[in-house]
Amino acid sequence: MSVSRHWKGVLFDLDGTLADTVPLILLSYRHTMCAHLGEAPADERWLSTMGTPLRDQLRAFARSPVEAEAMLETYTTFQRRVHDEMVKPFPGACDVLGALRERGTRVGIVTSKREEVARRTLSVCGLDAQVEVLVCAEHVTRGKPDPEAVRLALEGLDLTHFANETLFVGDSPFDLRAGRAAGTLTAAVPWGACTRDTLVAESPDYVLERLEELLDSYADRSTAGASVT
């Protein structure tokens, strides 16, 4: 069964959900690993932790806390240099956010990126004017999958008491777990870092095939994991 719905709020992850940044992220990862370890482990190791804070990701590869900090500096310096030429919005992102705002839906971003680069990504993608609340890595003490960042976004949008009428859209298991723990409904997008099977295994409420589906209708929760039609 499909029922037309206007969400009170829609929260989005940024990388791999609204912004096509995975090639940039992988290039930055490989550059950093080669600079510090002499070679880059398989991309899959990095992709499996995408959605968690960058500092936490790097700690898993560093041989000491000092090296982890040096890796962070290498990664961020390299990414700043090549960011703008490699980042673009996914199809429909700009139109969907604008249409949601026109309908009165509150729109926020919950990302594990640092605020500086997150704002730069939003600007390059032309999304910044449509985002009312931006929650980044340095705004919380516990990153995704902890629900702290999602709850902070709900608070910033005056939606704390409307979590069950708010949708969190993301491309990683960590997004889906954070949204669920914060009490929102969740929608997975399979065009980012993770495979559809990986996302479906998390039992999201919805699986989107395109962002425009947010403007059409939503599936009854009994069809969890099905595409919104």
Residues with active-site annotation: 13
> Exposed, middle or buried, 118 (CB in 10 Å: 0-12/13-18/19+)?
buried
Q: Say how far apart CA 23 and CA 180 lie, in whole Å.
A: 28
From first CA to last CA, the distance across the chain in angstroms is 9
Residues 6+ apart with CB under 8 A from 224: 203, 204, 205, 206
Q: Which is nearest to 59 in space by CA: 42, 75, 77?
A: 75
